[in-house]
Chains A and B, each alone.
Chain A
Amino acid sequence: MNLLRSEWTKFRSLRSTWLTAAMTVLLGVGIGALASGTAARTYTGEDWDPTASSMTSLVVAQLAIGVLGVLVITSEYATGTMQPSLTAAPRRGRLLAAKATVLAGAALVLGQLIGFASFFTGQAVIAGMDVPHATLGEPGVLRAVVGCGLYLAAIGLLGLGLGAASRSTAGAIGALVSITWVIRALSSALPESWSNWMDRYWPTTAGERITAVLRAPGELGPWAGYSILCAFVAAVGAAGYAVLRTRDA
């Protein structure tokens, strides 16, 4: 409990945290609204998932939240505060667990804020263009909107794990961008069997299933996809823990 309080103090006492949070919400909701408008304009009635369109907000938001997760640990290395932090809390596993808990909590709250805000703005945009929009009462919609927050919390933890494993802000952000954006973009250049596999099982692609209402044949279910993401995040986190535990601080 003491460690959680300490980590929360570290987290909330930086102006950059609040700045990033505000930027994430604004950018996320803005992108969500834009994407909803674009989707509505090209509406044909086929494969229409207005919820997923408004959840496009997470494409950008995941980067900001991931970076927040990276900085939770790499800023301690960069500024040298790892030394006083570890002197006060020499059990490194507990320190990392406290960081993860505080970050997951904050990312979840922020993620829900983004999810609901972009859902309502997105649906308002779609409704304004006289295209069928979604309501929270429809099957799977509430799960998809809450799923946006869950997805972002997982990406925040991914950032923390990458930060712990690489101990460098630049390295960890590079890995984060690769995992969430670059590798996915490259998958279309791969042979078809590979790219099919990637579209299905790449951790962040699979994880995003939780924010969709429609499920095309052959696609993973929302929770199956999210579990793959969580397993991946756990593996990266374990690698980060191993580095923190064994290397000289």
Chain B
Amino acid sequence: MTDTIEARGLTKRYGDRLAVDDLDFTVEPGRVTGFLGPNGAGKSTTMRLVLGLDAPTAGDVTVHGRHYRDLTHPLHTVGALLDARACHPGRTAANHLLALAQTAGIGRRRVDEVLALVGLEKVANRRAGTFSLGMSQRLGIAAALLGDPPVLMFDEPVNGLDPEGIRWIRGLMRDLAAEGRTVLVSSHLMSEMALTAHHLLVIGRGRIIADTGLDEFLREHGTEYVLVRAGELDLLTRVLRRAGARLETDTDALHVHNLTATEIGKLAAGEGIALAELTPVRGSLEDVFMALTDSSVEYGVTA
């Protein structure tokens, strides 16, 4: 049995609000899958459904081919961080983890290990209510790692972390995936995903609008063009038009849409035009993301 998370027709309705609408996806091991969508798109709901905290209205989601509730060793199978603040403020970090660990027969030594792993060993005996959001995030991650599980889910894990913490978490996610684990990380920040994820699951208004590799996603949806500056801009424009380029002019520069920088360089050299600048520009991921989710908002479009 592979360590996948599989959703088939997964649907969740709260009252008359459709939170998650007919999701089909498979989260594969060995890579970080970014679960990307604006706030309220259904990311957390989906994760709650995976963990059996909420029951789906229709459809099904399994981990390891089984419903979460039927897992024999849940902590050894899935580690999850949904809400960093989900600890009793009066309980120490170590006791919070110990109570969770004991459900799976995990001992105090492993608790100390994960506390050290997330850098909380010095505050192990402090009450969780005194923790900053960043420290709570680390505690939540420690809880997820207790059972050394092959499947991990993190809901907005970089929230509240300082820059050092953010860098640490990106490294952790990629390390976990490199060890062959299945890692699902949600975020509403495209830029964050670009730095962490290998694969993207984009969700908007409860529906999957893209399920693709990060690079393909950018290639497909990124508004890529090459920015060119030259002294003889008019001549260059004619040369490029002849080569079939789609152009936009921008005061003293050209945006070339369907030729590569290499092709443009060759054409310019052939005509003896000296280029002042030749820069491939990738549309910002945020733009791509906004465009995609906008359309899902306006027209309810699926991928």
Q: Could you list which residues of chain A lie within 8 angstroms of chain B, going by C-beta atoms? A: 2-3, 5-7, 9-10, 13-16, 75-76, 79-91, 248-249
Contacts and interface: CB of A to CB of B under 8 A. Distances in A.
Given A6-B100, A79-B88, 17 more contacts: A5-B102, A6-B99, A6-B102, A7-B99, A9-B98, A9-B99, A10-B95, A13-B98, A16-B90, A75-B88, A83-B48, A83-B51, A83-B82, A86-B51, A86-B53, A88-B75, A90-B69
Contact of A14 (B74, B78, B90, B143): B90
B279 interface: no
B88 A88 contact: no
B143 A2 contact: no
Contacts of A88: 74-75, 100, 103-104
A249 B69 contact: no
29 contacts: A2-B102, A3-B102, A6-B101, A6-B102, A9-B95, A10-B95, A10-B99, A13-B91, A13-B92, A13-B95, A13-B98, A13-B99, A79-B89, A80-B85, A80-B86, A81-B87, A81-B96, A82-B86, A84-B100, A84-B143, A85-B100, A86-B51, A87-B53, A87-B75, A87-B78, A88-B75, A90-B51, A90-B52, A90-B71
Interface residues of B, number: 34
Nearest to B53: A249
Interface of B: 48, 51-55, 68-69, 71, 74-75, 78, 80, 82-83, 85-92, 95-96, 98-105, 143
A16 B87 CA distance: 15
Nearest to B143: A84
Contacts of B82: 83, 87
B28 to A, nearest CB: 22
Contacts of A86: 51-53
B91 A87 contact: no
Given A81-B86, A81-B87, A89-B74, A248 B99 contact: no
Contacts of A89: 74, 103
B87 A84 contact: yes
B53 A14 contact: no
Contacts of B87: 79-81, 84
